[in-house]
Structures are given as structure tokens and as C-alpha cells.
Amino acid sequence: MSFAVFLGVVSADPDMLQDVCVADLASKVKVNGFPCKAAFNVTDFFFDGLAKPGVTNNTLGSLVTAANVQEIPGLNTLGVSLSRIDYAPFGLNPPHTHPRATEIVFVLYGELYVGFIAANVLVAKTIKAGEIFVFPKGLVHFQMNVKRAPAAVIAAFNSQSPGTLTIATALFAAKPTVPDNVLAKAFQIDAKEVEMIKAKLAPKS
Amino acid sequence: MSFAVFLGVVSADPDMLQDVCVADLASKVKVNGFPCKAAFNVTDFFFDGLAKPGVTNNTLGSLVTAANVQEIPGLNTLGVSLSRIDYAPFGLNPPHTHPRATEIVFVLYGELYVGFIAANVLVAKTIKAGEIFVFPKGLVHFQMNVKRAPAAVIAAFNSQSPGTLTIATALFAAKPTVPDNVLAKAFQIDAKEVEMIKAKLAPKS
Amino acid sequence: MSFAVFLGVVSADPDMLQDVCVADLASKVKVNGFPCKAAFNVTDFFFDGLAKPGVTNNTLGSLVTAANVQEIPGLNTLGVSLSRIDYAPFGLNPPHTHPRATEIVFVLYGELYVGFIAANVLVAKTIKAGEIFVFPKGLVHFQMNVKRAPAAVIAAFNSQSPGTLTIATALFAAKPTVPDNVLAKAFQIDAKEVEMIKAKLAPKS
Amino acid sequence: MSFAVFLGVVSADPDMLQDVCVADLASKVKVNGFPCKAAFNVTDFFFDGLAKPGVTNNTLGSLVTAANVQEIPGLNTLGVSLSRIDYAPFGLNPPHTHPRATEIVFVLYGELYVGFIAANVLVAKTIKAGEIFVFPKGLVHFQMNVKRAPAAVIAAFNSQSPGTLTIATALFAAKPTVPDNVLAKAFQIDAKEVEMIKAKLAPKS
Amino acid sequence: MSFAVFLGVVSADPDMLQDVCVADLASKVKVNGFPCKAAFNVTDFFFDGLAKPGVTNNTLGSLVTAANVQEIPGLNTLGVSLSRIDYAPFGLNPPHTHPRATEIVFVLYGELYVGFIAANVLVAKTIKAGEIFVFPKGLVHFQMNVKRAPAAVIAAFNSQSPGTLTIATALFAAKPTVPDNVLAKAFQIDAKEVEMIKAKLAPKS
Amino acid sequence: MSFAVFLGVVSADPDMLQDVCVADLASKVKVNGFPCKAAFNVTDFFFDGLAKPGVTNNTLGSLVTAANVQEIPGLNTLGVSLSRIDYAPFGLNPPHTHPRATEIVFVLYGELYVGFIAANVLVAKTIKAGEIFVFPKGLVHFQMNVKRAPAAVIAAFNSQSPGTLTIATALFAAKPTVPDNVLAKAFQIDAKEVEMIKAKLAPKS
């Protein structure tokens, strides 16, 4: 193959499509991941959407800004992505799981209490700027800002699209709704309390 | 290779270890999955622990009996396992995820309301004896017995050890405990309610 | 992502397609597995075709009813499927392999002599209602009803489409036909015997 | 890492073990594949056992000489191996499957009739010196020398240990033996014929 | 399934598409690998393009002739391919890597000095006709003909399309060009030497 | 399993070993990756070694500080890791590949000219603080500081140990040494120039 490449007698396109498969996000055909675009350019491998802090003036005081295959088409089939998470003072990224990836965070600034739960054992720690923590694939985890100042992390995932299952909203804000008796029995609370939580977590319109 | 095997001039052991890797559950060396036993026999591929209904006289009215690599060492490296789930009248297998497998259930008897949540949409249905339902890998799901009679299912998983993350107990019965303010903010309840749920879900001693 | 989901400002569809990829069985584009449908509903994860015994009045006295991705589109990319196998009295599910999956059977009723062959060693046992047996991926295996009563099993596979290679029919009923001298030499029989077996195993028209 | 390597301040061993994992064939601990040796040398990646034709004076007139992880420890975890297959005039490599690999053959000399069976369709062809043919993973296939002269191929597999399931010997020469009634019903022959084939295929002592 | 196949009541096509996915090289839809053709025939699994020596009258005195998925559509999704490499007297297949596969070579004729580099350690050897050598996935390697006579090898890869990154041409003949100061600093040479190498390695028009 | 966990009648250890496999870096047994420790604690998932800038006063003016499985044992089997790369003014992380991972960088501060080469096409761009760029798995890439001020990035990899092949040092500073005629012919330079580069790139003692 070296020689063929050497004399340039092989067009770049087929080789390109072997080395990368840039997502065709607009394709009518949907596959696991995305089909590949016929041509791509450098911007398919670039993203500047994590440069500025996200707006965190919401109930939880946190915002996740994703940089996955939908923002960076070049990530298609490459199995990695990033996110930036910003935290208001005492803000919380609530308990959630990523069905398709392990997460590893690097603290940009601030101080966070972070942890995951494995077999009902909490593995948690307070981490500061420049420190790293790992959340194993599929396990429930959270991060809470423990200071009066904002905080931010860069999170890396070994999936082009790790997915996110936020526990409280999945159970109490799904539509159609999860029956009260399922939630009441699971959390050992009564239907009235279930309804109250559902009301609080319902998407604002 | 056919000829070598034909004349039996190759000892069976090395080939065996290529076709199967029966778990050495007692090995001092721990690896992802299990090391292989030097020799095995037919019972390593057999299990009779799902023949009888499980005892369901507990708070939730359900019992999961596993038939994974720890019960069937022959499953090591083969990527599949089963469970039997028994339900008391109106019993619940509460919301949980399997970090390492998709689950597909076949109803042995009874009638269950089953569902999973994907991107905050509940996908749920009532299923009867002989019917099948799928719970995609890593998504939160549950089954509830909707009749006054017992029910049971056989569940298949595409992992030798799918793992189970039971939402309510992971969050409210972990040790060390998940801080009240994390749970209060996530579920939009106050610390008193968090403490109440923790008390109810605490392992009985 | 938790926040985005929380306020519902992300449409469900893209996340859905990340969590599941329901097979578009009618797609003109064929890929390994199947492309994904743009939308799906609960019936894509449900199947009732294994509820009733299959009709076993055939030469072998067995019938396999599949519940794989073609019956349950929601299984696409999820790597698991089921089958129901029914056996007439003394019926046989003849020696075969599954190129893409390990099989694990749970006996619904009856009594079967089951086994697989690894490196020319037969690993076999008689199993009864409620008992489990494993057939490792790619190895030849069979089940025979050893009683005068019908039998049935639920079989689980770690593939959305395990495939089946039935030894006798693949070799003696393929079209075009496998040359007599290949089969004669392989089984150390003469061409006349080969022709006789071919005649017996030929598909009935 | 470039700098660390540049100044040689990182010992080679750990990096080595990341790039390759040379099989420790003598390890007491057995894992899927093999544990890695602490050190290795160039001969772990070299083999000269395919240079000479194999001896084919046996019933089938063929001999497979393997060059897999057991002959080339350096192949461990690398997912590829070779074999050389020699054929006496009119010799046969009888119908078999490789549970763990696709096979692709390159004819060194001679002329062979080769084929595989997919869904009961025979896909077969006669191939000559320098020609290539593919046998997809897990499907039954064979090669027969159609000339009065010897023939040989180099076969490549995408597994360090593809495994081989030779149909006739697995079914009729397994020990313990597969019951006559299983084989009789599967091949639609009588028990006497089964016994005859078993006698012919039994390993010579 | 055995019975269904036995009576031929299942059309071959769907099963076929499960066992093989022959590349539709002309498909407008591009995916990782290739979509599958609706129908295929025996020639999709056959190739005769490696039968004759390649023309090696070029600067390096070597030629790689590929037999991958683009020449053999049947290889799609099967994870294996071959190449033939021919060497003029003293010809060189220059240092390169295969991003997606381990390579294992079998010498057809001639004598070659071959090697790979792992963690800055050269693992190299002279090999002759019939001998085998392994180049682990992703590591830089080369082969040089050390005799005045031509040489040739068959190379096997565990990828349907291993890809090739030829070091010298990638760095010094890329377009647009890699900046002189990057190459000068990396190789500790001055810009004039960089320009000289670029001129020598530039594709001939 | 939910019930068993609920009553705490299953010890945490076996489940733990299923969810995570913390590397036993000191194990005498070496496997692909690492064996698992019998017990672990929170520090196995934490690392503070990327908090401070690395010392870049070396020939290239760059330093890579790794945070992979050898620094964070909890990453074992989880398929992700980080590095911090620091650049002196005009410092270069020279052309290299990662055999086992795609890399995605987030700029902490400074301004870098970064690029990768695919099929002899350079895909390159200047990126600033907060911006992201992707280097596909196995492709040669580099980063150069284009300012008189220091720069730093966090790099994420989808491997617990991506490996690094630094082109110039692998070819010109390997031991034993790559023969002059191989390098001379590959780069179209004479042996004297090869010797000069080797001298410059030789590890300082």
C-alpha cells in the first residue's frame, strides 16, 4: 500500500472513509451511530462550544454542555467525547448514570464533592482544581459544588454519545408518568408524597 | 486441525480451553470475569436453582434468583445468563438498571405491568403468560404484579454477570450514606423526608 | 445533560436513537444488523409468538419458534434474543451450531437428553422442568426428548440473530448439492449411501 | 508521553506489556487467551513450521499445520493466525467450522474445489495457485484436491486460535459417543449404518 | 430454526444477510465498513489479483497489492484480509503502521530483513521462504529485501481494511504540507534539509 | 438481585468485582490490562498529578503527563484515560500516533497549531483556550505552540493505556538501531544524514 500512496495513484476518498467516518447528521438513513459523509473538512473535528461557562441559574444550579458526535461529527465511530459541566455556588449535578460510557472529570476551578455507588457502597471524595475523578460505566454518580463560588469541570467519556439517565427526572417526570404505586412502593413513601415530587420535577412550560 | 483432532494426536485440554473457559471461582488471581479451571465437567454447564419459586414475603414482594457465572461457571466468557423473578400478589421488582446487559423476559405465569424509561419517555405494557418484553441495556426498568395471584418470569441477559443497580436502595441505603442535601435537591424534597426514606429503606439487621 | 433533560429542552428523538435503534425491517439499505426506524412504539419491544406450543408433527418431531430481531425489532443492536423449542414425544432438535451466539435453555416441561461436543468430547446430561443447560457459542449441540410426553424449552441467545447451521441438512440438502465424493470421504461411506441420505433429507415439495 | 520516551526515563517493560502481551504458555493461571510473559524476544514473533509440506498419507489425504498462539506466543491478544494445509492427490479437508474466525486461503500450488454453506446454499468454486477464497466465520466449509498432484494453501484467520469443529468426527467419533438414535434420526439412517460410520471414524489406536 | 430450514419454509435471503454482509461498494449511503448487497454470488468471495508478482520498478523497489474488502466484497464485516508484497532486489517496504490490524507475513520466496519497534526497542530478524513474522497492531514496521534476487510475501491482517500510514510520505508528502518547523524540530534537522526531503518524496506528476 | 441487595444478604465484594476491576499493578500474573485487586478504596479512582504544569525545559519544549491506568488503577477495564500536555513557548509535541485510542484535546490556555494526517491529507487548525480538537485513532498527529507564551491542554483517550509511538525517536533512536539503509531509502537521504539525525535524537545519558 505504501507505494500506491507514495505515487498518489489511489484517490484519498476511499482511504479517508476507512480512517474516519464523519457523521452525516442529516442522513435519512439512521444506523447505530451515524452514516458517514462523503466528504469532510477540518471543522468536523473542531468545537468551541465549551469555551465559555454555561448558564446555571436553574433549580439544580448546574448545566452540562455536551461535545459529542452531534456537536463534533468527526467523532462518529471513534468512541470518545467530552462535556463541560458548570456549577453555581452549591449547585448539584444530580444522581445519574451514563449507559454507554465511563466518565473521568478534570476540575477546571472550584471544589466539588463527587461520588459513585457500586453495590450499595458510596465511593466519594472532595476534589479541587486540577484533580481527577473516575465514574465507572453505568454506575449512578453525582457532583455537588460545596463552595459559595462557581465551579466547572471537563468530563471525558469513552463513547461518541454516552447517554444520560437522570434518576429523579426519569422516574418522577417521565411521560407517560410512572404509576404512583410503583414509585410509592420503591421509595416506601405514600402516593401523596409521590404526587408532590412529580409536581416539583415536572418540566416547566 | 481436522486431521490432528481426527487421530487424537492433540490432547483435548488445550482445545477445550480455547472453546470454553470455565470460571475458577476460587482463584486467588482476580481478572475481568474469571480465570479458567484446568478441567471441568458437565455440571459446570448445568443449574437447577430456578426450578422452584423464590420466597417473596419481603417488603417489595419480589425475589430475583440469579443463574449467572457464579452459579454456572461454564458461562465464563460466554456472555449470557438467566434469572428467575418471582412476584407476590401486587409485588414489585422496583426501578433498576443493569449496567452490562439488555434484559428480555418471558412470563411463566401471572400478569405484570412492565416498562422502561428512555429519554424521559415511559415505554410500558401489561404482559401475560408466554409473552415477552425487552429492557434495553442500561435503561431504568421495573415489573409490577397487577393481580392478586403470584407471577414469575424467566429473564435472559447478554452478559455472564449483568449487574444490578436498584435505584432507591443505591441512593437511600448506600453506606456510607449519600448526603441529605444531594438527595433533597435531586428529588426536590426536604431533609426530613430524605431521612424518613433512608430509615424505611435501611437494611434490616 | 441532566439539566437539558430536566427542562425538556432536548427533543426525545435524538436521545432515543442513542439508547435504542429499533430495526427498520423494510429499509432498502441493508447493513450489518438493520438500520433504525425514525420512530417506534411499545410493540417493537413486545412479542407473544412463544406463548403457544409449536406444531411438531414433522420428521424430526421438533419445532423451533424464533423471537429474534425479525420478530422483535426493538432487539436491533441489543445483542440478545429468545426461541421456544417444542418436542414431540422422542422428538429431536438435531445436531446444529449457532455461529453467532451461546445458547442457554430453561426447560418449561418434559425431560430432555441434551449435549454439546467440544474437541471431540461429548458433554451431555438429562434435564427436567425448571433446569438449565448451556451450549457454548459455535459448538455443535442437540436436544432429544427422552419421554413419551411432549417437552418444551425457552432458549436464550446473546445475539439479536444467532443463526443456525443444521449439520445434516447443510451437508446433505444444500443446493447446489455438496459433491458425493466430498461427503463419502468425510463420513467414510459410499456414494450410494450418500445419495440415499440426500434423498431422505431433501426438502419436501 | 513522547518526551518521557525521548529521554528514556520510562523503562521499556510497562510500555511493552501495553503494546504486546506475549503468551506465557506455561502459566499455572489460565485466562481467556493466555497471561503475558514478563519478558519476550524476537523468536516469540517468528515461526518456521509452515515451510515444509505436511505429511498427508492419512485416510483423508490432508494435513493442517497450525501457526497460532501456541506456536507463536507473540500472537496473544493480537487476533490473527495462519495455517498451512497440504493435500495429497484428491485429498480432502473435510467439512468443518471455525467457531472463532473467518478463514481466507491463498493457494500455494495445485487446484482445489472449495466451498461453504450458508442457509443451505452451497457457495463453491475451483481455485488455482495464487487465487484466494473466503470462508465466513462459523460456516461449514471444505476443500478438496481435484488433481492427481499435491496441493497446498496458506490459510489466514482473524483469531489467535480459531478452533476447529470437524463435523464427521465430532458427531461420530466423540467420546463418550453421541447416542445412535440421535445420529440415526438426524441423518435419516438406521442404527446399523450409524455404528458402521462410528467404526470407520473411530481414532486408530 | 433447524426445522424451518429443513422444510425450506424460510427464504434463504434473510438468513444469508445474517451470515454474511457482502459490501455494496456502489451504495450512496456510506457507513462504517459498507452496507450489504441484497444478493451476492461466489465471485464476491474470490480474488485472483495476487497470483502474479507486482511491478516493483519504483523508487523504493516494492509494491503492495491489496486483497481487502474493496477487492473482495464478501469480506465486509468479517474482519480479515490479505495483501501480496513484492520486493525488487534490495527493495524496501518502508516504515509504516496499520491503524486497524496486526499483520502476519508468510514468505513466498526470497530473504527479507523485517522488524517492528515497540517502546523504542527494535524487534527484527532475517526471514526466508516459508517463514512467518508478526507485526503487532499499530506499531511501526518495515521489510527490506537483503538479496540481489526478488522476494515476495503474503500478508494477513485481522481487518477488512487495515489502513496504511507510511511514515515518510505522511510527514513529508502530505498536502497541505506539514510546516517545516514542525518537521525540523521533530527530526532535529534544519528547514533546508526538510525542504530537500519534501522535494524527494513529493508525488511524481 | 434488587431484593438480595436490599436486605444486604449479598456481600459487596463479588458485586464490586463485577462493576469495577481495580488494577493490581503489583500482580506477578500479567494479563492484557491488569488483574483486579481484591479490595480497593476511593483513592484508586482519584489523581492529582495533572494539577501543576509539567517542566518543559527540554529539546522539544513539551511534556506529556499521563493519567492512565498506571496512575489511576480504577481505570482498569474501563477504557478511558487523560493526559496533560504542557508546551514551552513555541514548544512542540512532535508527530506521533496512539495505537489504541482516539485523542480529543481541550485547550486550558495558550494557542496551538494542531493537526493529523489521513491518507496523506493534513487536517490542521490553530486552536485557543477552551477549544477542542480530535485526533482519530492510530493516525499521526502533532501540536505546536505558536506563541511566545506557555500553553497547556487536557487530552482524553478512549483507552486505559493508549500507548504512544513517537515517529522520530522510534525510527532514529530505537535500540538496537534501525539500519541506516532502511532509513536512508525511506526518507531519501544519505547514510551520513541518517547518522546525524540518530546522533541528535539519541537519548542523553
Contacts of B59 in chain A (CB under 8 A): 188
F134 strand-pairing partners: F104
Q: Would an 8 Å CB–CB cutoff place D108 in contact with chain C?
A: no
> Band of the pLDDT at E205, cuts 50, 70, 90?
low
Q: Is the pLDDT of residue E8 over 50?
A: no
Q: Do chains B and D touch (3 or more CB pairs under 8 A)?
A: yes
Q: Would an 8 Å CB–CB cutoff place F189 in contact with chain E?
A: yes
Q: DSSP assignment, residue E88?
A: -
Q: Would an 8 Å CB–CB cutoff place E131 in contact with chain D?
A: yes
Contacts of F8 in chain B (CB under 8 A): 203
Report pLDDT for F205: 60
Q: Would an 8 Å CB–CB cutoff place C117 in contact with chain B?
A: no
Q: How far is it, in rounded angstroms, from Cα B192 to Cα F166? A: 58
> Can you tell me which residue has the cell 422428538?
C91
CB burial of residue A148 (10 Å; 0-12, 13-18, 19+)? exposed
Distance between C44 CA and the closest CA of chain D, angstroms: 26
Q: What are phi and psi of F39, to 5 degrees?
A: -135, 160
Distance between B192 CA and the closest CA of chain F, angstroms: 22
Contacts of E79 in chain D (CB under 8 A): 102, 137, 158
Tell me the domains of chain E and their CATH numbers: 48-67+79-161 (2.60.120.10), 174-201 (no CATH)
Q: What is the DSSP string of D20-45?
A: ---B-TT-SSB-SS-PBPS---GGGG
Contacts of F94 in chain E (CB under 8 A): 182, 185-186
The SS3 call for residue D185 is helix
Q: What are phi and psi of C150, to 5 degrees?
A: -65, 160
Q: pLDDT by residue (tens digit) across B53-106? A: 999 999 999 999 999 999 999 999 999 999 999 999 999 999 999 999 999 999
Contact flag C167-D167 (C-beta cutoff 8 Å): yes
Grid cell for residue D147: 488433481
Contact flag A18-E60 (C-beta cutoff 8 Å): no
| B169 and B95 Cβ atoms separated by less than 8 Å | no
Q: pLDDT by residue (tens digit) across E91-127? A: 999 999 999 999 999 999 999 999 999 989 999 999 9
Distance between A3 CA and the closest CA of chain B, angstroms: 37
Of how many residues is chain B composed? 205
Q: Return all residues near E73 (Cβ < 8 A) that are at least 6 apart.
A: E22, E23, E24, E25, E34, E37, E40, E44
**Cα angle vertex D77, ends A139, E138, to 5°?**
95
Report pLDDT for B17: 44
F62 strand-pairing partners: F87
Grid cell for residue C44: 417493537
Distance between E130 CA and the closest CA of chain A, angstroms: 22
Q: pLDDT by residue (tens digit) across C11-41? A: 233 344 468 999 999 999 999 899 999 899 9
Mean pLDDT computed over A9-30: 68
Distance between C36 CA and the closest CA of chain D, angstroms: 25
| E165 and E97 Cβ atoms separated by less than 8 Å | yes
Residue of A nearest to E64 (CA): A1
Contact flag B100-F4 (C-beta cutoff 8 Å): no
Residue of C nearest to E20 (CA): C32
CB burial of residue C25 (10 Å; 0-12, 13-18, 19+)? middle
> Band of the pLDDT at F18, cuts 50, 70, 90?
low
Question: CA separation (Å) from D162 to A32, A60, C5, D103?
Answer: 28, 53, 46, 9
Q: Would an 8 Å CB–CB cutoff place B84 in contact with chain D?
A: no
Distance between F168 CA and the closest CA of chain D, angstroms: 9
Q: Would an 8 Å CB–CB cutoff place C184 in contact with chain D?
A: no
Mean pLDDT computed over C102-114: 98
> Can you tell me which residue has the cell 514548544?
F91
Q: Return all residues near F41 (Cβ < 8 A) that are at least 6 apart.
A: A123
Q: Is the pLDDT of residue F9 over 90?
A: no
The SS3 call for residue E132 is strand
> Can you tell me which residue has the cell 469541570?
A153
* Range with lowest mean pLDDT among B136-145, E11-20, E125-134: E11-20
Contacts of E158 in chain D (CB under 8 A): 78-80, 158-159
Cis peptide before A89 (omega within 30 of 0): no
Cis peptide before E176 (omega within 30 of 0): yes
Q: Do chains E and B touch (3 or more CB pairs under 8 A)?
A: no
Q: Would an 8 Å CB–CB cutoff place B136 in contact with chain C?
A: yes
What number is the ipTM of this complex?
A: 0.91
Q: pLDDT by residue (tens digit) across C59-90? A: 999 999 999 999 999 999 999 999 999 999 99
Q: Assign residue E85 a region (left: φ > 0; alpha: ψ between -120 and 50; beta: otherwise).
A: beta
D179, D185, D187, D192 alpha-carbon torsion, rounded to 10°: 60
| F56 and F87 Cβ atoms separated by less than 8 Å | yes
Mean pLDDT computed over B162-179: 97
Contacts of C121 in chain B (CB under 8 A): 12, 16
Contacts of E93 in chain A (CB under 8 A): 2
> Band of the pLDDT at B5, cuts 50, 70, 90?
very low
Cis peptide before D94 (omega within 30 of 0): no
> Band of the pLDDT at B19, cuts 50, 70, 90?
confident
Q: Would an 8 Å CB–CB cutoff place A169 in contact with chain C?
A: yes
Distance between C3 CA and the closest CA of chain E, angstroms: 32
Q: pLDDT by residue (tens digit) across F104-160? A: 999 999 999 999 999 899 999 999 999 999 999 999 999 999 999 999 999 999 999
| Percent of residues, chain A, with pLDDT higher than 70 | 91
Contact flag A30-C8 (C-beta cutoff 8 Å): no
Q: pLDDT by residue (tens digit) across D64-81? A: 999 999 999 999 999 999
Q: pLDDT by residue (tens digit) across E79-98? A: 999 999 999 999 999 999 99
Q: pLDDT by residue (tens digit) across F42-80? A: 999 999 999 999 999 999 999 999 999 999 999 999 999
C177, C181, C187, C189 alpha-carbon torsion, rounded to 10°: 110
Distance between A99 CA and the closest CA of chain E, angstroms: 22
Q: Which of D29, D34, D36, D33 is nearest to D13 (CA)?
A: D36
Which chains are adjacent to chain D, needing at least 3 Cβ pairs under 8 Å? B, C, E, F
Q: Which of D59, D68, D4 is nearest to D34 (CA)?
A: D68
Handedness of CA C142, E14, E82, D74 (dihedral sign): negative
* Range with lowest mean pLDDT among A133-142, B106-115, C143-152, D1-10: D1-10
- Single-letter residue type at F82: L
Contact flag A62-C3 (C-beta cutoff 8 Å): yes
- Helix or strand (DSSP H, E) at C185: helix C180-187
Q: Is the pLDDT of residue A123 over 80?
A: yes
On the CB side of F5, CA atoms within 13 Å amount to 30
Distance between F140 CA and the closest CA of chain D, angstroms: 13
Residue of C nearest to E17 (CA): C32
> Band of the pLDDT at C192, cuts 50, 70, 90?
very high
Contact flag E173-F117 (C-beta cutoff 8 Å): no
> Can you tell me which residue has the cell 428480555?
B104
The SS3 call for residue E99 is coil
Report pLDDT for D74: 97
Q: Would an 8 Å CB–CB cutoff place A59 in contact with chain C?
A: yes
**Cα angle vertex D185, ends D184, D189, to 5°?**
45
Distance between E74 CA and the closest CA of chain A, angstroms: 17
Contact flag D21-F29 (C-beta cutoff 8 Å): no
Cis peptide before D136 (omega within 30 of 0): no
Q: Would an 8 Å CB–CB cutoff place E46 in contact with chain C?
A: no
Report pLDDT for D205: 60
Please, what's the b/e burial string for D3-38 (b: 16 or more CB within 10 A of its CB; e: otherwise)? Answer: bbbbebebebeebbbbbbbbbbeebebbbbbbbbbe
Contact flag F163-D15 (C-beta cutoff 8 Å): yes
Average pLDDT, chain C: 90
Q: Is the pLDDT of residue A188 over 80?
A: yes
Q: What is the pTM of this model?
A: 0.92
| Percent of residues, chain C, with pLDDT higher than 70 | 91
Q: Would an 8 Å CB–CB cutoff place B120 in contact with chain C?
A: yes
Please, what's the b/e burial string for E14-50 (b: 16 or more CB within 10 A of its CB; e: otherwise)? Answer: ebbbbbbbbbbeebebbbbbbbbbeebeeebbbbeeb
Q: pLDDT by residue (tens digit) across D178-203? A: 999 999 999 999 999 999 999 999 98
Q: Would an 8 Å CB–CB cutoff place F108 in contact with chain B?
A: no
Question: CA separation (Å) from A179 to A203, B119, B135, C123?
Answer: 17, 17, 18, 48
Q: Return all residues near D146 (Cβ < 8 A) that are at least 6 apart.
A: D90, D111, D112, D113, D126
| Percent of residues, chain E, with pLDDT higher than 70 | 91
Q: How far is it, in rounded angstroms, from Cα C133 to Cα D145? A: 40
Count Cβ atoms below 10 Å from residue F49 Cβ, excluding itself: 15
Question: CA separation (Å) from F96 to D4, E170, E171, E204, F143?
Answer: 13, 11, 10, 26, 10
> Band of the pLDDT at F12, cuts 50, 70, 90?
very low
Report pLDDT for A15: 40
Grid cell for residue A105: 472529570
C153 CA to centre of own chain:
12
Q: How far is it, in rounded angstroms, from Cα F82 to Cα D65? A: 44
- Single-letter residue type at C109: Y
Question: In 3-state terms, chain D is what percent helix, strand and coil (to 5)?
Answer: 20, 35, 45
Q: Do chains C and F touch (3 or more CB pairs under 8 A)?
A: no
Report pLDDT for D93: 98
C122 CA to centre of own chain:
21
Q: How far is it, in rounded angstroms, from Cα F47 to Cα F49? A: 6
Residue of F nearest to A67 (CA): F132
| Percent of residues, chain A, with pLDDT higher than 90 | 87
Residue of D nearest to B38 (CA): D30
> Can you tell me which residue has the cell 444550579?
A61
Q: Which of F125, F150, F124 is nearest to F139 (CA)?
A: F124
Q: Assign residue D77 a region (left: φ > 0; alpha: ψ between -120 and 50; beta: otherwise).
A: left
CB burial of residue C55 (10 Å; 0-12, 13-18, 19+)? exposed
DSSP H stretches of helix in F72-190: 167-172, 180-187
**Cα angle vertex E12, ends E9, E15, to 5°?**
105
